[in-house]
Amino acid sequence: MMHVIIYTTPTCQYCGVAKQFLRELGIGFTEYDISRDQKKMVEIVSRTGRASVPVIEIDGDFIVGFDKNRLAKKLGL
């Protein structure tokens, strides 16, 4: 089973687009709001070298930003 995590903030427009895309595909995910979770923010910046959102983690691989084509490919679509 695929493990999907999305790191977001409430003001990020593309975070909402990414979550809707995943929902439309029926893909479950865990969401972390890094504006409220300092530990997750530090973790994601240290793991990706980036401080932008959304960051989508699929089975340990990261996609920074909402790249629909790359995301679909990683999801096997």
4 has a pLDDT exceeding 90: yes
Check residue 2 and give its pLDDT: 79
Check residue 42 and give its pLDDT: 95
CATH code, domain carrying 57 = 3.40.30.10
Q: Is residue 40 part of a domain?
A: yes
Domain that holds residue 20: 8-74
Q: Is residue 59 part of a domain?
A: yes
Q: What is the pTM of this model?
A: 0.92
What would the pLDDT profile of 18-69 be if each residue is shown by its tens digit? 999 999 999 999 999 999 999 999 999 999 998 899 999 999 899 999 999 9
The span from the first CA to the last CA of the chain, in angstroms, equals: 15
Q: Is residue 20 part of a domain?
A: yes
Rounded CA separation 19/8 (Å): 9
Check residue 64 and give its pLDDT: 94
CB atoms under 10 Å from CB of 9, counted, come to 14
Domain count of the chain? 1
Q: Is residue 3 part of a domain?
A: no
